[in-house]
Amino acid sequence: MPTRRLILAAAILTPGAVRAHAPRPGPNGGQKVDIGSNHAELVAEGNTLRLFLFDGDDRPIPAAGATAQAVVLAGGRQATVPLQPVRDNLMQGTGDFSAARGMRAVVTLTLPGQRPVQARFTPLDLG
């Protein structure tokens, strides 16, 4: 019985760790990860990033009023890419980089009325 209480206490005290998901393919062909209590999918093509926003149950959430920026490391160079709301749950931006396997991106997202949250992506390394 004490072991059961310990497991329950650990689950309550570390809710993020219990609910955290590993990066996975998203419905738009990018990589989907946890970002705060929500999910985001990053798609990288050419010099464009598209960020799709989802709630914790994977339902689209509006991008209107959100701000975001990605710091991209690709080809040995770093670029900062501002992401703007485009429509529905989509934010998009272009920058001085070329999407390629091995690229990394750190996205900082601020939804209206919420604190900034960050997520790390390797959008072309899904396998």
**What pLDDT tens digit does each residue of the chain (127 aa) get?**
454 443 434 443 344 434 456 889 999 999 999 999 999 999 999 999 999 999 999 999 999 999 999 999 999 999 999 999 999 999 999 999 999 999 999 999 999 999 999 999 999 987 5
Q: What pLDDT does residue 20 have?
A: 57
What is the value of pTM for the model shown? 0.83
DSSP H/E element including 66: none
Break the chain down into helix, strand, coil percent, rounded to 5: 15, 45, 40
Q: What pLDDT does residue 114 have?
A: 96
CA distance 88 to 27: 15
Q: What pLDDT does residue 23 have?
A: 86
Tell me, rounded to whole angstroms, the distance of Cα 71 from its chain centroid: 12
DSSP 11: H
Half-sphere exposure of 75 (CA within 13 A, CB side): 8
List the one residue out of 8, 77, 72, 1 whose CA is nearest residue 42.
Answer: 72
